[in-house]
Structure 1
Amino acid sequence: MSQISWLGPHDSFPNPLIEADPDPGVPGLIAVSERIYPGQLSDAYQLGIFPWYSDNQPVLWWSPDPRMVLKPNAFKCSDSLQKSIRHFCQDAHSQILVDQDFGSIVRACATSKRKDQDGTWITHEIMDAYTALHEQGHAHSIALVENGQIIGGLYCVAFGGMVFGESMFSRKPDASKIALAALCAWSIQNHIAMIDCQQETGHLRSLGAAPIARQEFLEQLQISLNQTKIETSWTFDKVILTYWL
């Protein structure tokens, strides 16, 4: 059994497409590093690897098998969610803001209380690293606003023709689902084959996500990276939600 790689600032990630998990006792854990080094996050995503760890831990890099993904056309827009979307679209005081104050959306995701979850994996280091990706045009935020107040949203990462969902939050019922509905509608318009959801949860499954084999995910990722690249500047508004109505 090989050992999990401990990465320095200039070390490359092992490629999960051609290398087995180094430690079967911790499936999906690919590598460890002391911190997130410059350029490391970009390299990781293009290999299908993402960081997930807590404060006072080293940075843990994962490529799980199976991998949870959401094909945009498979998004489940229930009757009740359609009603919420219709109300949001008809409200003259509501809007969707894309890539405006990215940092506030990440902080909202980090501080949002979640059932059966203490603390957050979105550390200050994670916030800084994803903000750097945002400045490079590879991380994006979608915020729902009502009467000047943010009521929910999400942030994600994009490389090539692949979108990687990161985290969502709601301050009103269905707000994060509406943000995800907007992302799915935008992805359909831009011929995005799948949105990476990373880890399997019942909530994501209820919205249409499903697990696929890591090998299949990584092969699709390589195809997507070689496709026409997504524009680094995202612009759309709440009209995009009418796709689900």
Structure 2
Amino acid sequence: MNFLDDFIIRAALAGLGVAVAAAPLGCFVVWRRMAYFGEATAHAAILGVALSLALSLPVFAGVLTVALLMALTVSTLSGRGYAMDTLLGVMAHASLAAGLVAVSFLTGVRVDLMAYLFGDILAVSRGDLAVIWGGAGIVTTLVVWRWSALLTATLNTDLAYASGIDPRREQLILTLALAVVVAVAIKVVGALLIAAMLIIPAAAARSFSRTPEAMALVAAGIGAVSALGGLAASWHFDTPTGPTIVCVSALLFAGSAMGAPLRRSG
């Protein structure tokens, strides 16, 4: 019997894949204060699901395309006089609403909205695993390749220009990576919780880390513990798996926040 025949093993590997993909990117989301940006991109995923089903395309392709278009649209409009928080709020909720309306027009297609909104990690297939880990590999490669440039552009735009780095190009790379994370994570935690898996592990890792590289690694560890702990708790208490993973992540963040003063005093 192949060990991948066990759905719990597949679910655990899927959760680890999302943690690996989301952790380094989540650090940049926290550093750049882009939480709403991630949420707007994630909410657009439902519209991508509807279009994929309507056109008989793979869900991953539709979600990736729409998430990327949303991220690029927000990046373009942000420099045209709109307040960023207002723009992102409008785009996030409008895209989610448009996606839900589009799903309602689908005929002859059975759509489990709860699975796409909150994830269905226990239904992950071998094909899903290949997509998740392939996406994690793409994101990790992009971030490692551009790490220094991304970090410089994040810390100081003027310093980036002086170093020959184009901050808008680095923003585009982050946008692409974010779209990939949304596309691979929707199966695990759903469109409504993807932003949480980006932000919470990175925020929890902040007080444990002295360098940006350490923060990314610690965030990956916290994300992995959240995924495996949430899966185990969900199995034990018979609770929805995606939300349970986020709850475990939130508990780890709370512990990190409460322990930070003790670590500083020590």
Per residue, is there more strand in 1 or in 2?
Answer: 1
- TM-score, structure 1 normalization: 0.28
Per residue, is there more helix in 1 or in 2?
Answer: 2
- TM-score, structure 2 normalization: 0.26
